[in-house]
Amino acid sequence: MMKSLYRLALLDTKEAFERKQISFGGLGEILNALMEWTSGAAGIPMTRLFGIQAKGLGDSGQGDMNNYYNTIRGGQESQYRPFLKRIDEVLIRSTLGSMPDGLDFEFAPLAQPTDTELSAQRLADAQADDIRLQQRVVRPSQVARKLMEQGVYGIDESDIKFIESDEKAERDGD
């Protein structure tokens, strides 16, 4: 039997031509199962590994991502932090001669907050700072220093010195 590119079939007298249908109906389910197994074996949600939206009513995959980030954060804290602290101590002591008090490091955030979440957090921080200022728990210079460290308003050390001099003048009755 011979078949050409142009769908021409040449048959001998003893041959019979039969068409066989091939069904790819179950291939999607097979690929889905394979992606789930791969995702489970890698320990990475399908949302992150394949960029596929999680299935289910109202499921955005955020719960899976939170579990994934919690797993990573746990590994950072339990496995990497002790190792990195030892390396830091060796490198800092060899560079500076001694280990400064209160020196620590933070891992970069795993998830970036949305603009809405960031705005809500800044509002909550501002309200908390305002309450602490009204209760006289903190001074304006302390709030300004916190904002400087966060890099929120471009406050520099001269601004803080100016605020501190105002606070001192106020305490002295000037």
Tens of pLDDT, residue by residue over 80-131, are 999 999 999 999 999 988 888 888 888 998 888 889 988 999 999 999 999 9
Question: 61's torsion region: left (phi>0), alpha (psi -120 to 50) or beta?
Answer: left
Choice among 7-11, 28-32, 55-59, 114-118 with the minimum mean pLDDT: 55-59
Query: What does pTM read for this prediction?
Result: 0.51
pLDDT for the residue numbered 161 = 92
Residue 12 has pLDDT above 70, yes or no: yes
Cβ-Cβ contacts under 8 Å for 50 (sequence gap 6 or more): 35, 39
Name the band, by pLDDT with cuts 50, 70 and 90, for residue 153.
confident
Contact 93, 99 (CB under 8 A): yes
Averaged pLDDT score across all residues of the chain: 86
Strand partners, 2: 10
Nearest to 47 by CA among 35, 31, 29: 35
3-state secondary structure of 43: coil
Could you tell me what percent of the chain has a pLDDT over 90?
Answer: 35
